[in-house]
Structure 1
Amino acid sequence: MNFNIRGENLEVTPALRSYVEKKVAKLEKYFEAGTISDVHVSMQVFNNQQIIEITIPMSQLLLRAEETHTDMYAAIDLVVEKLERQIRKHKTKVNRKFRQSGGVKYMFRNDLPQEPQEDDDDIEIVRTKRFTLKPMDTEEAVLQMDMLGHNFFVFSNAINGETNVVYKRKDGRYGLIEPE
């Protein structure tokens, strides 16, 4: 695995680096040999909170988890547990729903225990909303979102005509999602 570990408002010490590498390397047992190549780790300190985000891009799957804790080592443990749950749950769903060859199913090893079946695995849409997308710039979209009290807002970008989403981040700042 190739680790890309960076820190914001935090120096990534050799001890932190080796702890992350040791914990994340345990996830390799869930995959066929050579499936995971890159691991992107971002650690930061914000208002006495230690935040870690791990992203593992793969050919047909993107694993991502984020955790906040007062202790960075505890946050690392929690985020690896979260990734492990995602992998087991995804493997269970893939094995149950997709039986064709060459699918995502074949990235996972077959000799591992599967997550127990849960009733909440089925996705249920309980409400559908329809609205017209008004062309606006990102600043106006953020103002609309704040005025409505929502944590995200879908709009048509007046500059390029594409559908975009602005959202409020946990740190209180704003993010923009736009198609490639």
Structure 2
Amino acid sequence: MLNYNIRGENIEVTPAIRNYTENKIGKIEKYFEDEPNASAHVNLKTYSDHTAKVEVTVPLPHVVLRAEETTEDLYGSIDLVADKLERQIRKYKTKVNRKFRRQHVDELQPIDPDLWGGEEEHEEHSSKIVKTKRFNLKPMSPEEAVLQMEMLGHNFFIFRDAETDSKNIVYKRDDGDYGLIETDEE
């Protein structure tokens, strides 16, 4: 069972908002075989331009789920965050299941298809683009791009190399180091 820590900034967390948030975020519990003893940290913020931001963090034993959304409707932001968290869980479970399957294939043992959740895998491939961002690529060095990526809290960053004028990508590797993808534009 998730324990909820719901905070409001520039907004009073009414019982209706609390119930709606707990019901929407609580839907992720169906993905857990054992009920997690975890806390869902929810921040609800409203701004002077009438937008509402919802941030949710759920630290679990092997993964931290985190999502945030800003829309003009508080309830809409809560819905979108709940959907993001659900996608993250399905993606994580698919990764774990693939690793489980690979281990069994390596050991040449048959696998029961029900164990590896083919349904989640199918859902992952039916993803759609729900948000588009457009921005100008600023010329910088790969080191500057890594700093920008870290400041934004992202795991990758696209930039224009100041020396070669090519579009490149820096990304954070699982081992904690960084990678650089250089492109050749023809």
Q: Under a length normalisation based on structure 2, what TM-score does the superposition of the two structures give?
A: 0.58
Letter in 2 for 1:71: D
Deviating 4+ runs (over 6 angstroms) = none
Q: Who is 2:174 aligned against?
A: none
Matched residue, 1:23: 24
Conservation of the 8 A alpha-carbon contact between 1:36 and 1:56: no
In the alignment, the residues of structure 2 paired with residue 39 and residue 2 of structure 1 have an alpha-carbon distance, to the nearest angstrom, of 6
1:166 aligns with 2:151: yes
Is the helix fraction higher in 1 or 2?
A: 2
Match of 2:72 in 1: 70
Deviation, 1:153, is 3.1
Helix, strand or coil: the match of 1:95?
helix
Contact kept, 8 Å, 1:28 with 1:36, in 2: the verdict is no
Q: Name the CA distance, whole Å, in 2 between partners of 1:26 and 1:16.
A: 16
RCO comparison, higher one (Cα < 8 Å, 6+): 1
Deviations along 1:35-58, whole A, 9 cap, x unmatched?
A: 242110000012211000111001
- Deviation of 1:130 (Å): 5.5
How many residues are paired up?
Answer: 128
Instruction: Give the % identical residues.
Output: 47
For structure 1, list consecutive stretches of 5 or more residues without a partner in the other structure: 101-109, 121-128, 132-144, 155-164, 169-180
CA RMSD of aligned residues (A): 3.4
Give the TM-score normalised by structure 1: 0.60
Deviation at 1:152, TM superposition (A): 4.8
Kept in 1: contact 2:70–2:77 (CA 8 A): yes
Q: Secondary structure at the match of 1:114?
A: helix
Match of 1:40 in 2: 41
Whole-Å Cα distance in 2 between the matches of residues 71 and 151 of structure 1? 34
Q: Distance in 2 between matches of 1:60 and 1:53?
A: 20
Counterparts of 1:17-166 in structure 2, within 5 Å, are: 17-46=18-47, 47-98=49-100, 113-116=119-122, 118=125, 131=143, 152-153=147-148, 165-166=150-151
